[in-house]
Structure 1
Amino acid sequence: MAENFSPTKLEYYENMWKLQSTSILLSSFQGEDGRQVLILDSTIFHPQGGGQPADTGVITSAGFKFVVQEVRSKDKIVYHYGFFDNSENEALKKNLEKGAEVLLQVDAERRKLNSRLHSAGHLLDVCMTNVGLGHLEPAKGYHFPDGPFVEYKGTAPQNELQNKQQHLELEANNLIAKGGKVFVATLPYNEAAELCGGCLPDYIPKESSPRIVRLGENPGCPCGGTHVSDLSEILGIKVSQIRTKKRMTKVFYNVES
């Protein structure tokens, strides 16, 4: 369906805190699950991925209101899944024509929570090094409200991890209390590597220009998600458990409400 479309412009890449914008409708159709799908030339909606849940919100025009329930990305095209709410049939038909301008509005509270959880996960990566667990290599993160965690390649004795748990939480909350602006930019490979402590993960091609997020004065990391504008906005982190299994270590956490 989207093979003839140019890649969707990701506005949140440039401005993670933008919650409203306009875009151009490229296509509207019914998905396999029965929901309606909109494809736009640009979007501020973050699709599910990278351990972060999708944004929700609404897309409106003069003749319709489209409730965005889910956002997915495939082959650089972003798909907005949802339903039309209280739209007049004739106006809907007219305004769903290709080229129509639409207004996008992201659910601010959901975006804020997702950004806080995602930022907290990256901050824990920094703190793992600060408390003497830097030999554990970051593998992935799950930054959903139902049970966020960060996972690392490698293990340590369980009693050592338990002893480090309180120190890890204290270190993270000290950095939050101190605060620090969040920097985000798409950079040439060498500049990105320098900002990330001298190297980048092997999966990032050396001819690429990765997007780097840096929390305060801490080393940056490649990331395509959304984050807070200042570390203080995380408010606080509670590390509930650290456990190791099958050569992997998981740190479970949550953020203060």
Structure 2
Amino acid sequence: MAAGAIPATKLAYFDNMWAVQATATLLSHLETEDGRRALILDSTIFHPQGGGQPADTGFISGAASGFKFVVEDARLKDGLVYHYGSFENPQDDCVSIAKEGEEVSLYINPQRRDLNSRLHSAGHLLDICIRKMGLSHLEPGKGYHFSDGPFVEYKGIIPPDLLQIKSKELEKEANALILAGGKVSAPVLSYNEAAECCGGVLPSYIPTDSAPRIVKLGEHPGCPCGGTHVADIADIRNLTADAPHTNGMP
């Protein structure tokens, strides 16, 4: 089936962020312009890379045709999630073996999902701590929730002589919240409900006619987010804050 004729992929992890196994229907298998093999399903629990969070990995198998497709990457484009990877131990032409319309099983690498979710939730926890510490003048920007050096960028000024002090205070505040714990949820809400959940206002990039997905950590104000998160703040386990950098100065 041509990609242009395929209905948008249902993001099943919106319904359950903690599912690591599921079933779906195979809609298409194709070779993309960059030469990679991809599967497109009617729904997926694989989180595609985006929002500062890396993609889930794992595999997709079809019992009827007997194929196993190792998922190495996932990306969302024009409403479709492309599961990139390769067939394991291909025999003859596995592309013809995988049948469009058949039910397939999805298996996510649980260790990677857990780490990605912890890192992403930790980024949102930093936002909460920034506000609680009276640093709301700092404007959050890019979030990078990869394991090779996660960070959240903030636009604003902290005097250089206070950077180390504020870093330690931030770490102490974050770990206190982790110790206290609190349920994490990410419902899809109407625009007005979402604004109320986020403290009365939403970022300007959220369309007023949309239904945003809002991640909420405990009783703290929420934030628009399309990623996966831990079930409880305590599941972040711990947070170590490095001294912030400003204008290239440590």
* SS of residue matched to 2:165: helix
CA shift for structure 1 position 127: 0.2
**Alignment-mate amino acid for residue 233 of structure 2:** L
Partner of 1:31 in structure 2? 32
Q: 1:1-257, aligned counterparts within 5 Å?
A: 1-62=2-63, 63-89=66-92, 93-94=96-97, 96-245=98-247
Give the stretch that moved more between structures: 145-154 or 222-231.
Answer: 145-154
> For the residues of structure 1 that align with 2:162 and 2:150, how far apart are their CA atoms?
22
SS of equivalent to 1:50 = coil
C-alpha deviations, 1:168-190, integer Å up to 9, x for none?
A: 00000000000000011000111
Partners of 2:29 and 2:95 within 8 A in 1? no
Provide the rounded CA distance (Å) in 1 between the counterparts of 2:207 and 2:72: 33
Moved more, 115-124 or 151-160: 151-160
Residue 24 to residue 132, structure 1, CA distance change in 2 (3 Å): same
SS of structure 2 residue aligned to 1:185? coil
Distance 1:116 1:84 in 2: 30
| Between 180-189 and 32-41, the greater mean CA deviation after superposition | 32-41
**Which residue identity lines up with residue 66 of structure 1 in the other structure?**
F
- 1:100 positional shift: 1.1
CA displacement, residues 141-199 of structure 1 (integer Å, 9 cap, x when unaligned) = 00000010001122222222322110000000000000000011000111111111111
1:254 maps to what in 2? none
Q: Distance in 1 between matches of 2:207 and 2:155?
A: 21
- C-alpha separation in 1, matches of 2:20 and 2:33: 29
> Aligned to 2:122, what secondary structure does the other structure show?
helix
* Distance of 2:6 and 2:157 partners within structure 1: 45
Report the residue type matching 1:180 in the other structure. Answer: G
Equivalent AA in structure 2 for residue 31 of structure 1: T
Give aligned pairs, total.
Answer: 247
1:223 Cα deviation (Å)? 0.2
**Cα drift, residue 32 of structure 1:** 3.3
Question: Percent identity over the alignment?
Answer: 59
**Cα-to-partner distance string for 1:60-82 (whole Å, 9 max, x where unaligned):** 01211100000011111100000
TM-score in terms of structure 1 length? 0.92
1:119 partner letter:
S
1:212 deviates by 0.5
Runs ≥4 residues deviating over 6 A: none
TM-superposed deviation, 1:91: 7.2
Q: CA deviation at 1:25?
A: 0.8
